[in-house]
Structure 1
Amino acid sequence: MVPFSFCGEEFALCQTNALYWPRERALLVADLHLEKASFYATRAGQMLPPYDSRETLERVALAIRETGARRVFTLGDNFHDSAGPDRLEPHAAGMLAALTRATDWVWITGNHDAAMPPRIDGTLATALDVGGMILRHQAQPGETRPELSGHFHPRLHLTVRERRIRRSCVVVSRNSVAEGRVSGRMILPAFGALTGGMDAADPAILKALQPASGIDALVQASGKLATFPLWRAAA
């Protein structure tokens, strides 16, 4: 885990793209997209290996063991569609049941799974305020409070020695608020085993984080967080 400070809070970024919040003993993961393979098999006839949910849930279990988290907040698009819970095969369903029993689990819904069935274990919410930090699926333009979200699956695109490199990353904004305190917002990378990514510098991401004085991508490298500027306000 790589510790860092954000909006006056201490966090740690795990190798699995999960975020740990020590004060809350909480693990945060975005965009699990469980049962994506079965969605494509049933809706589009694309026969992908049906093990993405198992792999994703194994990663969640590993992150819980690594951090000792007692709470889990998922930041939306937990299933690839709202019917996903009904397609979980027994092994994956058992894994999920064990995880939700072992932790205080909160599902924040997203655009893919807005109609998740209430019978699924854990608590459902569209957004939460936890200790002054807003947790939601998609960053809201104009938000000035500290915010954690997902949705965009950010990846940093780099060219190193004529090679194109794509790495999952965290995107953070720094906002100067009128009262003089510094706020900010953070977009987590996708956690699911079968998820793609969007260029962290895409205009849609930069627009979602406005107003901001600066926007950066954070990437784990050799046990540290490397910072790559994506956008700066005009002086």
Structure 2
Amino acid sequence: MLARAESPAVPLAAVAIAGAELLLDPSGAVLWPDEGLMLVADLHLEKGSAFARRGQMLPPYDTLDTLRRLAAVVDLHRPRMVIALGDSLHDRWAGERMASPLRDEVRAIQSGRTFIWIAGNHDPLPNDLGGEAAAEVAIGPLVLRHAPVEGPAPGEICGHLHPAARVALRGRGVRRRCFVTDGRRMVLPAFGAYAGGLSVRHPAVARLFAPHGFTAHLLGAGRTYEMPAHACLGD
């Protein structure tokens, strides 16, 4: 069971995936209270330093920001297990570029709980950042992996696609990272500070779900906002 340090101002949205009752945190994390489990996807640690190597100078604080936000949501919900669903490192050299204080941040998050890194398409499995490593993990009715598989996949929870939705509010378009689900599978938003977002209308996302058969849960300040497929606009 999860133990919350404090009660949220707005209750977390609840969704059922293949019979598992999950909660959606506005940080982009998924909680499975019955298992004491937290899921995050696509941290893309050290993306800023990867761009700097190619001459595109971004503020080099993305890793610290991502880890501090992850630490905050871990401190809030106190899961017994955290699983990062791949692309946790932006590239295979990210671990070498990560400064010692940032490695300490990672280990502080892992302290007192099981932490599992799932392999992504950007990163090898981390072997020097603590925790455990796996290609994918199956728990009860859920299969936790990085990228979605083709065809029906009941119970699949994944990342990789960085879903985002654009909706019209008060006459203007608003675009936010989002969870997207049809009750059978779910794709998580990217958690990383510099990770982008792919429209839920893009074929790579839309083909996973029946037409107009998905719901997007947009990330907001302190809560998520549920939107039906027909309310999600193309980019």
TM category (shorter chain) comes to: 0.7 to 0.9
For 1:214, the equivalent position in structure 2 comes to 213
Q: How many residues of Structure 1 are paired with residues of Structure 2 in the alignment?
A: 219
Are the equivalent residues in 2 in contact too, given 1:33–1:80 (CA < 8 A)?
Answer: yes
For 2:176, the equivalent position in structure 1 comes to 167
Are the equivalent residues in 1 in contact too, given 2:25–2:223 (CA < 8 A)?
Answer: no
Unaligned 5+ residue runs, structure 1?
Answer: 175-183
Are the equivalent residues in 2 in contact too, given 1:35–1:84 (CA < 8 A)?
Answer: yes
How far apart, CA to CA, are the structure 1 residues paired with 2:102 and 2:32?
26
Amino acid of the structure 1 residue aligned with 2:213: G
* Greater strand proportion: 1
The 5 A counterparts of 1:117-136 are: 117-136=126-145
For 1:16, the equivalent position in structure 2 comes to 27
The verdict on how the C-alpha distance between 1:153 and 1:144 changes in structure 2, with shifts beyond 3 A counting, is closer
Measure how far apart 1:91 and its partner are. 1.5
Are the equivalent residues in 2 in contact too, given 1:106–1:123 (CA < 8 A)?
Answer: yes
Measure how far apart 1:78 and its partner are. 0.3
The 5 A counterparts of 1:28-67 are: 28-42=39-53, 44-67=54-77
- Using CA pairs under 8 Å that are at least 6 residues apart, name the structure with larger relative contact order, 1 or 2: 2
How far apart, CA to CA, are the structure 2 residues paired with 1:109 and 1:191?
16
Secondary structure of 1:169's counterpart equals strand
Secondary structure of 1:17's counterpart equals coil
How far apart, CA to CA, are the structure 2 residues paired with 1:107 and 1:12?
21
How far apart, CA to CA, are the structure 2 residues paired with 1:150 and 1:31?
7
Match of 1:25 among 36, 43, 48: 36
Amino acid of the structure 2 residue aligned with 1:227: M
Unaligned 5+ residue runs, structure 2?
Answer: 1-10
For 2:4, the equivalent position in structure 1 comes to none
RMSD over aligned Cα atoms: 2.1
Are the equivalent residues in 1 in contact too, given 2:26–2:224 (CA < 8 A)?
Answer: no
Are the equivalent residues in 2 in contact too, given 1:127–1:134 (CA < 8 A)?
Answer: yes
TM-score scaled by length of structure 2 = 0.86
The 5 A counterparts of 1:77-96 are: 77-96=87-106
For 1:97, the equivalent position in structure 2 comes to 107
TM-score scaled by length of structure 1 = 0.86
Give me the identity figure in percent: 36
Measure how far apart 1:211 and its partner are. 6.5
Are the equivalent residues in 2 in contact too, given 1:40–1:48 (CA < 8 A)?
Answer: yes
